[in-house]
Copies of this chain bind each other. A is one copy, B any other.
Amino acid sequence: MVTMRDVAERAGVSIATVSFLLNDTKPVTPATRARIEEAMLELGYRRNMVARALASRRTRIIAMAYPALEHRFGMSTAEFFTAAAERARAKEYHLVLWPVGNDGVELRELLGQGLVDGVVLMEVQLADPRVEVLRETGTPFALIGRTAELGGLAHVDIDFDATVEAAVEHLYSLGHRELVLISGDLADPRFHDYGPWVRSEAAYRRVVAEYGLHIVVEPSSDSPRAGREAAERVLQHHPETTAILVMNEYATLGVVSALKRQGRDVPGDVSVLSLFMVPEVAALSDPELTYLRTPGHELGQLGIEALIRQLDGADPLPPQLVPATLSPGGTVGPPPR
């Protein structure tokens, strides 16, 4: 392994000078800079991140903690992660994925090892024990999602209000008046506090009330089967429905196939609009789904950005709320007759 000492010797300078050059922490004359750079090139020098981390007490590693047990690692999570990894790399950080439990125990375990400079927390709950752990240990962190009371916590999240408003407005303007929301299943104890479900359902109730429409909300967990069952309940109890909004992406696929099974034409008889989805999943349905695209890419990047600003001591990034944007597909049309 070629070390800084080798480079310094070859360039005829002290190793401190090499370090200053590398980190750009002190000026260096063009002449010495050239000599050092040449030496590095000739020797094929690569700085050792571990030594650097020990000396500077910064590892330049960021962990993305996501609750493996409670949430499957699906396409949306993948999108968050890859966007975040990309941004991190651009800022010369590494991103590692940490599957942790929702209770914060594993998180505390991992933090103790001094391996990471900061944490991006995903799938945040309204009251999240993990936030407490991070606070206690003094770890810098940013949330993708929001707790209920966010005392100045760095966070980015979906703008649920704007998204739901856009969705309802879209359907309303097409002429739909009998809407149903297939929401998350808040009765499930693992999710009763899950931000996206709580917030989007609340937004829906508010918006639909403003439009003066009936409020019908049917719970469903995020699987095709659950979606099918929810759709069947809707057909049975609310046959007048002309448009269904669906919160969960995999449930949406079930909703569409249940409607087709029951002989309903989509979108001729019933329109289906998915509230938060990535294109890859939308393409899996036939016809391809009309949906509001989860801003996974943006949020992944912003989350990392918010964290890195703290780490680098820059101005904090103010909280960002990004709406999902409408992406046309083949499952929404005007109501029948």
Contact = CB atoms under 8 A, between A and B. Distances in A.
9 closest Cβ contacts across the A-B interface? A46-B112, A257-B286, A96-B96, A73-B78, A49-B113, A48-B114, A50-B53, A50-B54, A54-B54
Contacts of A224: 283-284, 286
Contact of A96 (B75, B77, B94): B94
Given A78-B74, A82-B73, A96-B96, A284 B253 contact: yes
A192 B4 CA distance: 43
Contacts of A51: 54
Nearest to A77: B78
A330 B113 CA distance: 49
Contacts of A86: 99
Contact of A75 (B75, B99, B260): B75
A68 B82 CA distance: 8
Contact of A46 (B59, B113, B254): B113
A48 to B, nearest CB: 5
Contact of A115 (B94, B95, B114, B254): B94
B99 A85 contact: yes
A327 interface: no
A206 interface: no
Interface of A: 1, 46-51, 53-54, 59, 68, 72-75, 77-78, 81-82, 85-86, 94-97, 99, 112-115, 223-225, 250, 253-254, 257, 260-261, 280, 283-284, 286
Contacts of A112: 46
A77 B94 CA distance: 20
B286 A113 contact: no
Contacts of A113: 46-49
Q: Report how many copies the assembly holds.
A: 2
A52 to B, nearest CB: 9
A72 B79 CA distance: 10
Contacts of A94: 96, 115
A46 B95 CA distance: 22
B46 A50 contact: no
A90 B78 CA distance: 24
Nearest to A109: B46
25 contacts: A1-B114, A46-B112, A46-B114, A48-B113, A49-B113, A50-B50, A50-B53, A50-B59, A50-B115, A51-B54, A73-B78, A73-B81, A73-B82, A74-B280, A81-B97, A82-B99, A85-B99, A86-B99, A224-B284, A224-B286, A250-B280, A250-B284, A254-B286, A257-B286, A284-B284
Contacts of A68: 82
Contacts of A59: 50
Contacts of A73: 78, 81-82
Nearest to A260: B286
Nearest to A89: B99
Contact of A49 (B95, B97, B115, B225): B115
B85 A97 contact: yes
Contacts of A283: 223-225, 250
Contacts of A1: 114
Nearest to A228: B286
A209 to B, nearest CB: 34
